[in-house]
Structure 1
Amino acid sequence: MSTSQKALVLQQKQGDFTVATIPIPGPPGKDELLVKVKAVALNPADWLIQRTGLLVEKYPAVLGFDISGEVVKVGEDEFASKFKEGDRVAFAAIVQSEYSGFQQHALAHADTTCIIPQNISYDEASTLPVVLSTAYVGLYAEHPRGLGLKPFTAPGGTGAYAGQAILIIGGSSSVGHSVIQLAKLSGFSHIITTASLKHTEYLKSFGATHVLNRNLPLDAFLAALMEIEGLPKLEYAYDAIGELESSFRYALEAVVPSSSSIVVTVNPRLEHGTLELKGRRVSGFTSEKNSEGNAGLIMDLFGALPGLLEKGLVKGHRFEVLPRGLAGIPDGLARLERKEISGLKLVAHPDETA
């Protein structure tokens, strides 16, 4: 096995991405795997880190957080021993170059890595790890870190919210798409989301019961919400967009003013647990594995995920494969930054890099 590989490297803070030859990371530690990256999905965090310099302290740096690939080396602890060379796996990277996906090999923590069933492609699998983790933490982490719902993975959790309603702002986003699927597993009878109406049938196929036009003014949106037949008291809202002056405001205004009403947003700038706005409890959160309380939740999710994928209870996002391997990623990130992408994930194949 070669000791070097191709990688897309951010040479300096707020610098440019360049394709370079760097050492293959490793060897894997006791609780780690070394994975040959087959597909990596792009996220807004990738261009935000490049533009702002947030989160990354050491340069040159490799980004890319949604990864699928083939195990090539295995560590020695109880989690790593569940895997073997040749296994098809998916995992979410941490913000550290050795674990990131814009390269041909990456390290993975075995306890938050899952086997990909044979009915799922590498491309589809790469669309899931980060967004599904974000959806899961936001729904099931105890308040003030999330909505505090009973996880569907817990005894009695599947279908536990029958007869109740949840609002998901941004259903066609990657996170929103995942929240819809998990809300269905939790049994919500009314799963209401906002999106471009061209995505209506697609989102309903994953569990949404009602799709409202994302472009409605706030008053019209609230009126449309009230017109939903048989709508139970709305006490849960998940803002999958994270724009505090728009998407979060819609979520906040939609839930009933009650001490039992909770709104979460993917924008961590809203410090969790410190606000009660208009009688509703609100929180912002991060799904980073190392954040307080997240590791156990994400381990539970990844433990259940192979079975969910095999049974079709959770599905990946629609995707578009970028040309030119790693070299095609900067153009894809520019499209994300310009908000040209709706209802799909951009995916790259590092081994197709010239």
Structure 2
Amino acid sequence: MTNPQNKAAWLTGPKEKPLKVSDAPFPTPDIGEILIKNAAVAINPIDCKIQELGIFLQEYPNILGGDIAGVVEDVGEGVTRFKKGQRVISFSAAFQTGKPEMAAFQYYACGLETLTAPVPDGLPFENAVVLPLATSTAASALYMSDHLALPLPTVSPPQSGFKKQTILIWGGASSVGSSAIQLAKASGLHVLTTASTRNAAYARNLGADVVLDYAAADVEAAVAAAIKNAADKEGAPFVGAIDAISSPDTLETIARIVAKAGLPPSTKVATTHPPPESLKGSAVMTWVLALNLGLPKYADIAEAIWGRFVPEALAAGVLQAKPDPQVVGHGLESIQKGFDVLQQGVSAKKIVVTL
């Protein structure tokens, strides 16, 4: 039987624009892999930065993309969770493995069984595809021993008999922030987050207990007060923070909040971009690399998130596929447009292209 034709949106060289749509090898799933016929892909800031700055990639041409949603076309040796025809989402392991056939921006891609979850029939692919990279990043920040090392999430978090803790999630309306709020609540945490006044209701709907306006003149004092109040009145001491934005400004703001709240320099802050050296000593800031979730060292976390929580929570309607997709086009030719739209800025949305 002849394989269908595969095409990809290729990055042909460092800083090259636009992406070039042309033929690509038809992937064959290896041991522990599944082959997915992509129905929708999402675009993330890291994709734009790789193209703009010419970073991370060693070989060209290459294929980008971390978020995959589609239908299982085939399964490799040893795969037991999935079968042909099943609807799935998958977090691409292309960077971790160095295999372009695992990148999202093509018609057919291979995914690791351990980083893939089934999608309920009632959830459209363009909605489901907002989750993989954001969920993996948030989970890495929350649960890896290198970062906050918190209790793993469950569909029905414990209501008693555990020590409640407070977390700050800066940027609650971002894609990583949206996933982090939901995972943190599923781990039984008291969640403080920041968002614009326009997105405050959105963050509360995801489960945030306290939402503070990041643009307010007194935001640092307000967050510090909320941290102290959670410890004093809620009995939920502060366990650390995730900065889902991680610009120099937001990281410096969090460092000042740590000081204003009277927290020790050992306070943990998980960042989505490398923290500047100038902040060393103000808190323990660690850069989250979601691609590490596919390593054997973190197999227990991957299993807890992708093997149990995501499938169960999606099926139960507990995990919301947020932020909502902003579909900018159909076909691989629209992916470069997606890059351009994302770089213009979006709020409480994720850029998606259907295939």
TM-score range, shorter chain: 0.7 to 0.9
Letter in 1 for 2:36: V
CA distance in 1, matches of 2:315, 2:178: 18
Give the SS at the match of 2:201: helix
Q: 2:319 aligns with which of 309, 314, 318?
A: 314
Letter in 2 for 1:205: N
CA distance in 2, matches of 1:295, 1:337: 34
Contact 1:39 1:349 in 2 (8 A): yes
User: What residue is the counterpart of 1:262 in the other structure?
Assistant: 268
Displacement of 1:201:
0.8
Quick one: structure 1 residues 298 and 213, their matched pair in 2 at CA, closer, same or farther if it must change by over 3 Å?
A: same
Pair 1:115-2:121 in alignment: no
Q: 2:108 aligns with which of 105, 110, 114?
A: 105
Displacement of 1:313:
1.8
CA distance in 2, matches of 1:11, 1:113: 28
Displacement of 1:293:
3.5
User: What residue is the counterpart of 2:246 in the other structure?
Assistant: 242
Quick one: structure 1 residues 154 and 252, their matched pair in 2 at CA, closer, same or farther if it must change by over 3 Å?
A: farther
Displacement of 1:161:
6.4
Structure 2 alignment gaps of length 5 or more: 232-236
User: What residue is the counterpart of 1:93 in the other structure?
Assistant: 92
Quick one: structure 1 residues 158 and 121, their matched pair in 2 at CA, closer, same or farther if it must change by over 3 Å?
A: farther
Displacement of 1:182:
0.9
Letter in 2 for 1:131: A
User: What residue is the counterpart of 1:253 in the other structure?
Assistant: 256
Quick one: structure 1 residues 161 and 64, their matched pair in 2 at CA, closer, same or farther if it must change by over 3 Å?
A: farther
Quick one: structure 1 residues 349 and 258, their matched pair in 2 at CA, closer, same or farther if it must change by over 3 Å?
A: same
Letter in 1 for 2:230: L
Displacement of 1:269:
5.2
Contact 1:41 1:346 in 2 (8 A): yes
CA distance in 2, matches of 1:13, 1:164: 44
Deviations 1:243-290 (A, max 9, x none): 1x211122223234226632211113569xxx8623x43322211135
Give the SS at the match of 1:146: coil
Runs of 4+ in 1 over 6 A off after TM superposition: 154-161
Contact 2:156 2:186 in 1 (8 A): no
Q: In terms of mean alpha carbon deviation, does 97-106 or 249-258 score higher?
A: 249-258
Give the SS at the match of 2:207: coil
Structure 1 alignment gaps of length 5 or more: none
Q: In terms of mean alpha carbon deviation, does 221-230 or 101-110 score higher?
A: 221-230
Contact 1:160 1:187 in 2 (8 A): no
Give the SS at the match of 1:36: strand
CA distance in 2, matches of 1:238, 1:177: 12
- Pairing of 1:142-157 with structure 2 (within 5 A): 142=145, 145-153=146-154
Give the SS at the match of 1:288: helix
User: What residue is the counterpart of 1:81 in the other structure?
Assistant: 80
Give the SS at the match of 2:304: helix
Displacement of 1:299:
3.0
Pair 1:124-2:130 in alignment: no
Give the SS at the match of 2:181: helix
User: What residue is the counterpart of 1:326 in the other structure?
Assistant: 332
Contact 1:240 1:266 in 2 (8 A): yes
CA distance in 2, matches of 1:170, 1:50: 24
User: What residue is the counterpart of 1:199 in the other structure?
Assistant: 199
Letter in 2 for 1:39: A
- Pairing of 1:111-190 with structure 2 (within 5 A): 111-142=114-145, 145-153=146-154, 163-189=164-190
Q: In terms of mean alpha carbon deviation, does 248-257 or 224-233 score higher?
A: 224-233
Letter in 2 for 1:101: A
CA RMSD of aligned residues (A): 2.6
CA distance in 2, matches of 1:14, 1:128: 27
CA distance in 1, matches of 2:64, 2:37: 16
CA distance in 2, matches of 1:58, 1:269: 27
Size of the aligned set, in residue pairs, is: 338
Displacement of 1:163:
4.0
Quick one: structure 1 residues 64 and 268, their matched pair in 2 at CA, closer, same or farther if it must change by over 3 Å?
A: same
Deviations 1:24-83 (A, max 9, x none): 432211211111000101100111110122221221111111101101111111xx1321
Letter in 2 for 1:193: T
Give the SS at the match of 2:329: coil
Displacement of 1:17:
3.1
Quick one: structure 1 residues 198 and 22, their matched pair in 2 at CA, closer, same or farther if it must change by over 3 Å?
A: same
CA distance in 1, matches of 2:141, 2:40: 26
Pair 1:299-2:308 in alignment: no
Quick one: structure 1 residues 71 and 154, their matched pair in 2 at CA, closer, same or farther if it must change by over 3 Å?
A: closer
